Amino acid sequence: MQALLVLEDGKIFKGRSFGASGQALGEVVFNTSMAGYQEIITDPSYKGQIVAMTYPLIGNYGINKEDAESRKPFLEGFVVKECSKLASNWRKDRDLGDYLKENNILAIEGIDTRALTLHIREKGAMKAILSTQDLDELSLVDKARKSRGLVGLDLVKEVAIPKKYVYSQSKENKYKVVVLDCGVKFNTLKELKHLQCNVTVVPAWTTYQEILEENPDGVLLSNGPGDPAAVGYVIKAVANLIGKVPLFGICLGHQVLGLALGGSTYKLKFGHHGANHPVKDLRTGRVSITCQNHGFCVDIDSLNKKDIELTHVNLNDGTSEGLAHKKLPLFSVQFHPEASPGPHDAGYLFGKFIEMIRESK
């Protein structure tokens, strides 16, 4: 079946459908990972986006139940150069195309993903539409231009869990951590469980009073989709938690923490999406290769330098990648330290969180 990917600036890519039928609107971005397409598809942070993979052959090891990062796919559409016709892996449950159809995700193959990536790098991430039904190019350009985009949009409410649940509970565990779910990935929860934490996951709209009633030793602010400035209820809760309990923010959680501390955020030209971003820890000089997925960034200059320290910087473009308070028990990073598959260089940050909890106790 023919499919079209049409960008708001009028750029058109023609290809073949290998997912669901219909049309999908979203911001088109590129991801540079060579593997891990299942984790990318099931990452809630991609809500509102159409993801194009720069690696040319995707789908060659299929889909399995164990590697999902959330309860279902949340991205709007999927774009590849070629979807492998043969999926071979002993853990495989189904093919990529079948999985996308089952979850009503549109997908297109057969386009020049290199040209698409270069176009986004030059022009910036932009609104787009993926369609197998309406193939009128002018009509699709108009629909893309009129779509909602990401700026000012609260997408967290569309991915967060509806009610709290206990992920891990054992008398042998030493610490209790509450995870504020803005679109948390399962591997984050697994890391906390591995570090002997009793983990309770609560919806993003949980108030700070309700979080403190859980009597946590620490609170983790999860990753998530969209514009961090649009989730005022999360920012308010986090602002009231500062100084009362140790805090660790990841990705959107990092941005929300920056806003709760009185700072501001801005939209990047085409964001950071991939598993090969070099980040330098300014305190140790150590460089980690990190997994990232975000389109917004904390303006570190908007924060009070007397209290807040820039801890990490992206070596590709110099943007801020981490912050910490000089007196209070809190820190956050823009990248995903729980990445799997991908580099595990930044996994030590979970240990740092536990150390901060231990010192606070």
DSSP 225-266: -S-GGG-HHHHHHHHHHTTTS-EEEETHHHHHHHHHTT-EEE
Instruction: List the catalytic residue out of 83, 197, 251, 297.
Output: 251
On the 0-12 / 13-18 / 19+ scale of CB atoms within 10 A, 239 is: middle
Q: Is 272 a catalytic residue?
A: no
Tokens 């057969």 label which residue? 110
Q: Is 194 a catalytic residue?
A: no
CB 330 within 8 A of CB 219: no
User: What stretches of the chain show up as alpha helix (H) in DSSP?
Assistant: 37-41, 96-102, 113-123, 137-146, 186-194, 208-213, 232-241, 252-260, 348-360
Q: What is the DSSP code (8-state) at residue 205?
A: T
Provide the Cα torsion 221, 224, 230, 231; round to 10°.
Answer: -40
Can you tell me the distance from the alpha carbon of 255 to that of 308, in angstroms, rounded to the nearest whole number? 14
Q: Is 251 a catalytic residue?
A: yes
The residues that are catalytic are 251, 336, 338
